[in-house]
């Protein structure tokens, strides 16, 4: 057996694993449909230019191909950008409300080491045409529900807002490089290095105080909102605080505030996020499974200026969690295997057809050996783990019980003939 | 709720355990030659385990450890998605460029650098726009310029005595290094009630010392 054909970073999903993935997908489809979302699918290949540097896509992370005309293509790297384009092409009136959901594979981390996963399975929703606390609230609610419908309980949603930090930085007149470095330090809550980094910069005492406060702006939403009010230095920042208050009013009304944390010190690598950003995670699980936010300016690139908000859920990551927590139910697969000798093929086929027409699974094998030898040959085969073997002999179906052949109680051949 | 702490094996671990003792966490089971892998403090609030230093950010990023103590040099060499909350000011040293005393190395020419820190070295010379060949070494880096494998080395310098014994001198300083307290991005929020007191104690220590 050759193992030289295995590609690191990609995995086969099969049997129970695939059934669980499909169950997860089914539950989420049902959920999103129940909120009025419509499923869309975009191509696997996209133009290289779609995923630009400015939006935060690192070129070395893209899987690139060249077509026959020398045009550079990439394997789909992110779902939000192509779906925004689809919405822009099919809905030219910018006031239209469009609610989409999707399930897609994404190809990432091209230049990362072999052991890093390259293929992800993601579902998600995108809500176009509204910029209201109610729209953001619905997105957050659906993120929560996406985990709850799978039996997950200990969910937390971190809410941030890229506007707050950006509006503050706009007052500082820093170089782009300094700004990015400070963003990185704030993102890592690296207070020691922020302190050293800003010491030589010519900033006011108040600005430095705010820079040290930003990473620690996390915790209970209502506490954080009042802390934020004290840090505002311009109207834009105050507008963010007012917006978050309105969002909290909505989440109070629909009863999801207890799941929320605020963290104004977190940013997102995707630069298309313009306002609210959030991520969802569980207790005892070090990685986030849902990430999303509002991207009000992305659609303008495709000719229709419309606000939007959405999220994506990492299906394989969620499955890993469900598996570890014992929340996956093993689905029994039962198939009836009919073993027959050549002269009784017609009868065997008739019974198999009958079972299949009842929605059951049936397989048939022409016996060249004894039925016992056949059953034995499949005993370690995971695919026949729960199979029921029956043996057609002289017009009568038998099964093995304690090693002996026993006629079936209800013998179908007696009925149908 | 118990907090899992990952510690980098070696001299920093001893200092970190001493520091934990000072802020009120004692580990009765722990001794230098103990064969146990995980040690729990007398109150059961915190448990630590020892791993190789580059693995500390990995354990913390994956959430197996909630917090970790590791040198800044490791975080610079192996960047990880973790919070770098505090500078503990222990295990202080410098990352430096060192070379043979009185060595004649032509300027404006590609240089060869031996190091255990290829990422840091590459980044440093890229910023300086100095053409360079980096040779990755696992240890005894001082040997490289002596035997002519490289022109310079980039390495951790604590007192400089190892360099001196081998006839090497520090030429440039790349960064100051000390131990950092890092935290998993999820744990910091979900186990805040348990992590905050530890942070506060360390933070108060920092300004006393």
Domain boundaries, chain A: 15-324, 336-416
How confident is the model over B97-116, as a mean pLDDT?
A: 85
> Tokens 């979900």 sit at which residue?
B190
pLDDT value of position A259: 95
**Encoded tokens for A221:** 């939403």
Q: How far apart are CA B138 and CA B145, in angstroms?
A: 15
How confident is the model over B121-141, as a mean pLDDT?
A: 92
Q: Give me the residue from A190, A219, A287 closest to B63, CB to CB.
A: A287
Judged by CB atoms closer than 8 Å, whether chains meet at A154 and B85 is answered as no
Q: What is the pLDDT of residues B20-57, one digit of tens each?
A: 888 888 888 888 777 788 899 988 889 999 999 999 99
> In 3D, which of B62, B171, B143 has the Cα closest to residue A281?
B62
Helix axes A133-148, A235-254, angle to 10 degrees: 50
**Encoded tokens for A118:** 């390259």
Q: 3-state class of B56 per DSSP? A: helix
Q: How far apart are CA A78 and CA A107, in angstroms?
A: 8
- Chain A nearest-CA distance from B148, in A, is 31
Point out which residues pair with B7 in neighbouring strands: B50, B69
Q: Provide, as residue numbers in chain B, all residues whose Cβ is less than 8 Å from the Cβ of A261.
A: 189
Q: What is the homologous superfamily of the domain A336-416 according to CATH?
A: Anticodon-binding domain (3.40.50.800)
Judged by CB atoms closer than 8 Å, whether chains meet at A188 and B184 is answered as no
Q: How far apart are CA B95 and CA B88, in angstroms?
A: 17
ipTM: 0.79
- Chain A nearest-CA distance from B204, in A, is 14
Taking residue B170's Cβ as centre, other Cβ atoms within 10 Å add up to: 15
Residue A136: exposure state from Cβ atoms within 10 A (0-12, 13-18, ≥19): buried
pLDDT band with cut points at 50, 70 and 90 for residue B209: very low
Interface test with A, best of B79, B126, B190 (most A CBs within 10 A): B190
Q: 3-state class of A273 per DSSP? A: coil
Q: Give me the residue from A154, A192, A286 closest to B184, CB to CB.
A: A286
Q: Provide, as residue numbers in chain B, all residues whose Cβ is less than 8 Å from the Cβ of A189.
A: 83-85, 183, 188
- Chain A nearest-CA distance from B54, in A, is 16
Q: Provide, as residue numbers in chain A, all residues whose Cβ is less than 8 Å from the Cβ of B62.
A: 286-287
What DSSP designation does A128 have?
E
Judged by CB atoms closer than 8 Å, whether chains meet at A286 and B61 is answered as yes
Q: Which CATH number applies to A15-324?
A: 3.30.930.10
Instruction: Tally C-beta pairs within 8 A across A and B.
Output: 48
DSSP string, B124-180: HHHHHT--EEEEE-SS-TTHHHHHTS-SEEEEEESSSHHHHHTTEEEEEEEEEE-EE
> In 3D, which of B202, B184, B178, B203 has the Cα closest to residue B5?
B184
Q: Are A196 and B175 in contact (CB under 8 A)?
A: no
Q: Collect all residues from B whose CB is shorter than 8 A from any CB in A.
A: 61-64, 82-87, 180, 183-190, 192
Q: Give me the residue from B63, B86, B87 closest to A286, CB to CB.
A: B63
Q: How far apart are CA B118 and CA B125, in angstroms?
A: 11
Q: Give me the residue from A154, A189, A286 closest to B83, CB to CB.
A: A189
Angle at B165 between CA B164 and CA B170, to 5 degrees: 20
Q: How far apart are CA A267 and CA A162, in angstroms?
A: 6
Give start and end residues of each alpha helix (H) in A308-390. 315-324, 345-357, 371-377
Beta sheet of A72-75, edge-to-edge order: A45-47, A72-75, A64-66
Judged by CB atoms closer than 8 Å, whether chains meet at A188 and B61 is answered as no
Q: Are A225 and A245 in contact (CB under 8 A)?
A: yes
Q: Where in chain B is the domain with CATH 3.40.190.10?
A: 3-91+178-205, 93-176
Q: Which residue has the higher pLDDT, A52 or B67?
A: B67
Q: What is the homologous superfamily of the domain B3-91+178-205 according to CATH?
A: Periplasmic binding protein-like II (3.40.190.10)
Q: Output the tens digit of pLDDT for each of chain A's 417 residues.
A: 556 788 888 888 888 889 999 999 999 999 999 999 999 999 999 999 999 887 888 888 999 999 999 999 999 999 999 999 999 999 999 999 999 999 999 999 988 887 888 999 999 999 999 999 999 999 999 999 999 999 999 899 999 999 999 999 999 989 988 988 899 899 889 888 898 899 999 899 999 999 999 998 999 999 999 999 999 999 999 999 999 999 999 999 999 999 999 999 887 777 889 999 999 999 888 788 999 999 999 999 999 999 999 999 999 999 999 999 999 988 777 899 999 999 999 999 999 999 999 999 999 999 988 898 999 999 889 888 888 999 999 889 998 888 888 888 776 654 444
pLDDT band with cut points at 50, 70 and 90 for residue B94: very high
Helix axes A133-148, A15-34, angle to 10 degrees: 150
Q: Which CATH number applies to B93-176?
A: 3.40.190.10
Q: What is the pLDDT of residues B134-186, one digit of tens each?
A: 999 998 999 999 999 999 999 999 888 989 999 999 999 999 999 999 999 98
pLDDT above 50: residue B207: no
pLDDT value of position B206: 59
pLDDT value of position A400: 87
pLDDT value of position A271: 80
Q: 3-state class of A105 per DSSP? A: strand
Q: How far apart are CA A241 and CA A259, in angstroms?
A: 19
């Amino acid at each position: 057996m050759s193992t030289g054909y295995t590609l690191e970073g990609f995995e086969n999903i099969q049997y129970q694993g695939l059934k669980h993935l499909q169950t997860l997908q089914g539950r989420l489809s049902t959920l999103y449909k129940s909120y009025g979302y419509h499923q869309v699918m975009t191509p696997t290949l996209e133009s290289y230019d779609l995923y630009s540097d400015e939006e935060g896509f690192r070129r070395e992370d893209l899987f690139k191909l060249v077509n026959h005309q020398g045009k550079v293509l990439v394997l789909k790297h992110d779902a939000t950008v192509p779906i925004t384009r689809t919405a822009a092409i099919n809905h030219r009136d910018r006031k239209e409300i469009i609610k989409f959901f999707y399930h897609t594979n994404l190809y990432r981390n091209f230049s990362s080491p072999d052991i890093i996963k390259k293929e992800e399975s993601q579902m998600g929703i995108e809500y176009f045409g509204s910029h209201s606390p109610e729209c953001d609230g619905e997105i957050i609610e659906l993120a929560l529900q996406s985990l709850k419908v799978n039996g997950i309980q200990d969910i937390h949603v971190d809410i941030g807002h890229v506007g707050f930090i950006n509006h503050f930085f706009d007052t500082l007149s820093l170089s782009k490089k300094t700004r990015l470095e400070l963003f990185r330090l704030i993102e890592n809550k690296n207070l020691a290095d922020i302190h050293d980094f800003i010491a030589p910069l010519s900033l006011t005492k108040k600005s430095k105080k705010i820079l040290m406060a930003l990473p620690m702006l996390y915790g209970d939403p209502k506490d954080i909102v009042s802390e934020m009010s004290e840090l505002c230095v311009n109207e834009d920042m105050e507008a963010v605080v007012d917006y978050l208050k309105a969002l909290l009013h909505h989440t109070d009304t629909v009863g999801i505030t207890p799941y929320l944390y605020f963290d104004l010190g977190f940013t997102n690598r995707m630069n298309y996020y313009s306002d609210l950003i959030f991520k969802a995670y569980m207790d005892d699980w070090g990685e986030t499974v849902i990430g999303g936010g509002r991207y009000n300016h992305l659609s303008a690139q495709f000719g229709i200026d419309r606000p939007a908000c959405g999220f994506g859920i990492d299906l394989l990551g969620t499955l890993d969690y469900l598996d570890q927590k014992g929340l996956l139910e093993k689905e029994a697969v039962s198939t009836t295997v009919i073993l027959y000798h050549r002269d009784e093929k017609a009868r065997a086929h008739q019974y198999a057809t009958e079972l299949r027409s009842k929605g059951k699974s049936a397989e048939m094998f022409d016996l060249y050996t004894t039925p016992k030898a056949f059953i034995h040959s499949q005993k370690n085969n995971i695919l026949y783990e729960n199979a029921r073997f029956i043996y057609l002999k002289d017009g009568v179906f038998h099964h093995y019980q304690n090693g002996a052949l026993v006629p079936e109680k209800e013998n179908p051949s007696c009925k149908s003939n | 709720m118990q907090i899992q702490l990952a510690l980098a094996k070696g001299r920093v671990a001893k200092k970190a355990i001493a520091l934990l003792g000072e802020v009120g966490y004692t580990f009765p089971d722990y001794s230098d030659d103990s064969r146990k892998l995980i040690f729990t403090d007398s109150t059961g609030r915190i448990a630590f385990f020892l791993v190789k230093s580059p693995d500390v950010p990995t354990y913390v990023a994956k959430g197996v450890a909630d917090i970790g103590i590791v040198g800044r040099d490791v975080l610079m060499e192996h960047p990880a998605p973790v919070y770098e909350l505090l500078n503990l000011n222990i295990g202080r040293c410098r990352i430096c460029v060192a070379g043979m005393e009185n060595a004649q190395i032509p300027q404006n020419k590609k240089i060869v650098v031996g190091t255990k820190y290829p990422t840091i070295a590459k980044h440093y010379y890229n910023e300086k726009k100095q053409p360079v060949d980096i040779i990755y070494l696992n240890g005894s880096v001082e040997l490289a310029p002596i035997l002519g494998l490289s022109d310079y080395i980039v390495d951790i310098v604590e007192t400089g005595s190892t360099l001196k014994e081998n006839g090497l001198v520090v030429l440039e300083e790349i960064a100051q290094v000390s131990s950092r307290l890092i935290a998993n991005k999820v744990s910091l929020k979900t186990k805040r009630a348990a992590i905050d007191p530890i942070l506060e104690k360390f933070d108060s220590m920092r300004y006393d010392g």
